[in-house]
Amino acid sequence: MPKALLTGAAGGIGQATAHLLWEKGFSLLLTDVQEEALIRAFPELPAGSQRILLDVTNPSSWKEIAANHSEVDVLIQLAGVMRVGTFIEQPLEEWLLQVDINLHGVAYGSWTFGRLFAERGKGHIINIASMAGVAPIPGIAGYTATKFGVRGLSLALDAELRPRGVPVTVIGPGPVETPLILRELPKPESVYTLVAGGLLKPQAVAQAVWRAIRHRPKEILLPSSKAVAARLVSIFPSLQDVAARTFLKGAVRRRNAYLREGTPSESPS
């Protein structure tokens, strides 16, 4: 039975991914920094799976979990935070938090399990970035920067590790309907996250993870209908202003609709 380790497992994408991988015959190490959130998300576990506390920002925690669970076949890094707001008007602590969890946390996990996988000549690392790591989004400059970093790290690491039997896949979804973004929607700057369309369901990202496990590509962007536009903005940054002007009204309508439906105030990412 293959075994996968998930970070940020208590979040919406983590829960959707866990249930899909159980259906596919995996045993799972479900990790999160919040024990209560893990228990709420997974009150019962199939045989062979475990809930484990993991602070992704602590290299010692990564060292310990790798030493105790060297049998892991796939590392799936889902943990992340997002803080909406104009960059220069946010406290510097918001930047530091996002860098520490979104980028440093992924780097520590990739370094720890990358070494373990390379030593045995097999394994797979799957890192969740964002479409914001391809085309920058105002209002979430800090988040955008960290996801550009995750994408760059993952693609470079794949070039280093794939020849040693360890592919690295980076998945860049558009905004996903989880508390990560829903609790930030009341902030006016959040409207820019919806310029390219509505929110994806967590199950769509879980399916992308499964596709990554099966086919081991370097990168998956979703939805695919938005991927070409994101890549064009990346190549021609001036297109970003055109896109914002063209699609902002639709983004405002979508944001207002989500706000009318209600957003959670306290929930894991």
pTM recorded for the entire structure: 0.94
pLDDT the model gives residue 243: 76
Count the alpha carbons within 13 Å of 150 in the hemisphere toward its beta carbon: 38
Let me know: does 102 contact 155? Beta carbons within 8 Å: no
pLDDT the model gives residue 257: 92
Catalytic residue among 108, 143, 192, 258: 143
Q: What is the DSSP string of 192-243?
A: GGGTT-SPBPHHHHHHHHHHHHHH--SEEEESHHHHHHHHHHHH-TTHHHHH
Q: What is the mean pLDDT of residues 125-141?
A: 96
In this model, does residue 269 exceed pLDDT 60?
Answer: no
Which domains are present in the chain?
A: 3-261 (3.40.50.720)
Residues 6+ apart with CB under 8 A from 231: 134, 135, 221
Please write the tens of the pLDDT for every residue from 172-216: 999 999 988 899 999 999 998 998 788 999 999 999 999 999 999
Q: What percent of the chain has pLDDT over 90?
A: 84
Sign of CA dihedral 169, 172, 177, 178: positive
Question: Strand pairing of 27-32 and 168-173?
Answer: unpaired
Please write the tens of the pLDDT for every residue from 36-86: 999 999 999 999 999 999 999 999 999 999 999 999 999 999 999 999 999
Lowest average pLDDT, out of 19-23, 153-157, 174-178, 248-252, goes to: 248-252
Q: What angle do CA 171, 174, 175 make, to 5 degrees?
A: 120
121 vs 39: CA distance, rounded Å: 34
Active site residue 143: yes
pLDDT the model gives residue 263: 53
In this model, does residue 87 exceed pLDDT 50?
Answer: yes
**Host H or E run for residue 169:** strand 168-173
What are the beta bridge partners of residue 200? 176
In this model, does residue 268 exceed pLDDT 60?
Answer: no
Other beta carbons within 10 Å of 241:
10
In this model, does residue 238 exceed pLDDT 90?
Answer: no
pLDDT the model gives residue 145: 98
Q: Mean pLDDT score of the chain, rounded to an integer?
A: 94
